[in-house]
Amino acid sequence: MTKYFFILLTSLTVKSYSQLPSYETSAYPRSIPNEGTTVRHRYLGEQRVKYSKRVHRVIDGRMKQNKDISWPRNPLNKIIWYAVTKGYPDIHRPKAYSSDSLASYISINEIKKKVQDTVMVWVINPNNPTDPNDLIQIPSFTPFDPSSITKFRIMEDWLFDAQHSDLRPRIIAIAPLYQLISQAGIDLGESELFWVKMDNLRPTLSQQEIFNKHNDAARMSYDHWFEMRQFASHIVKESNVYDLDLKYLEHFQDDGIASLLEADKIKNDLFVMEHDLWEY
């Protein structure tokens, strides 16, 4: 029995080392950060949740606190892009959704059409190659560079668990943001490229290392980074009857400062509610 247990343990160890990313070598054998497993969530039943509030946040990778996700060796934008469009070995490719309702899928071709630049190029007519004046136009496609993604939008629920008497957030989905350009070349602002459920993406994030500015030996996965909420963000939406972002609501249109103040108010209201759950 001991012999078979040793063989099984050895095979599991070899598999974990074989899944290591190849962006650097090490002086000693290193396994997947945190053993490549996701952080387990506690069970939540409907009867235990007495309060819920859905909010949307934007994480900007250009901010100092969020620089870790822009680590050139393993940036978050490339991880999510390749996970959705190509998939990683031995990990189920997560489905992409067209909106935050998470009701309808969007195909990979539709995603690429959103971000591919199409330029009409004049070339010699292949049916008349001897005539240099006989030209035709053909489309030329420029592949999308995922490194151009610097912001991510997350949808999360703040849940009060009556059994444990605490208020905790849980990320539901995440979406990379890209610049939406009209056919006339007008910048229409930021838009969600696609949405992906966080639970479907977490197996990939748990096997991808994020930079740890404090200690290279204390390695951390992207899944742990999100679960420990090591990011800085700002609120752009809370659940409302119009299902609109703060900047599109009547009181905050054309007033960026007012929408930012409202976002801080929402953040403070969540803090106050959690604080009022206890008596001191």
In tens digits, the chain (280 residues) has pLDDT values of 444 434 343 333 333 333 445 556 777 777 777 778 888 888 888 889 989 999 999 999 999 999 999 999 899 999 999 999 998 887 889 999 999 999 999 999 899 888 877 666 777 888 888 877 777 777 767 778 889 999 999 999 999 988 888 889 999 999 999 988 766 666 778 899 999 999 999 999 999 999 988 888 888 899 999 999 999 999 999 999 999 999 888 888 777 888 888 898 998 988 888 788 776 5
Strands 195-197 and 117-124: unpaired
Question: Cβ atoms within 10 A of the Cβ of 181, count?
Answer: 14
C-alpha–C-alpha distance, residues 127 and 86, integer Å: 37
Tell me the two tokens of residue 56.
């949307």
C-alpha–C-alpha distance, residues 249 and 116, integer Å: 32
Question: Do residues 249 and 242 touch, judged by C-beta distance below 8 A?
Answer: yes
Specify the pLDDT at position 260: 86
Sign for the pseudo-dihedral over CA of 35, 38, 42, 43:
negative
> Cα angle vertex 260, ends 259, 264, to 5°?
115
C-alpha–C-alpha distance, residues 156 and 162, integer Å: 19
Q: What is the 3-state secondary structure (H, E, C) of 195-257?
A: EEEHHHHHHHHCCCEECCCCCCCCCEEHHHHHHCCCCCCEEEEECCCCCCCHHHCHHHCCCHH
Specify the pLDDT at position 21: 55
Q: How far is CA 277 from CA 47, 166, 195, 267, in A?
A: 18, 8, 34, 16
Domain locations in the chain? 45-116+145-276
Specify the pLDDT at position 4: 45
Specify the pLDDT at position 118: 67
**Beta pairing partners, 123:** 136
Whether this model's pTM surpasses 0.95 = no
Specify the pLDDT at position 185: 66
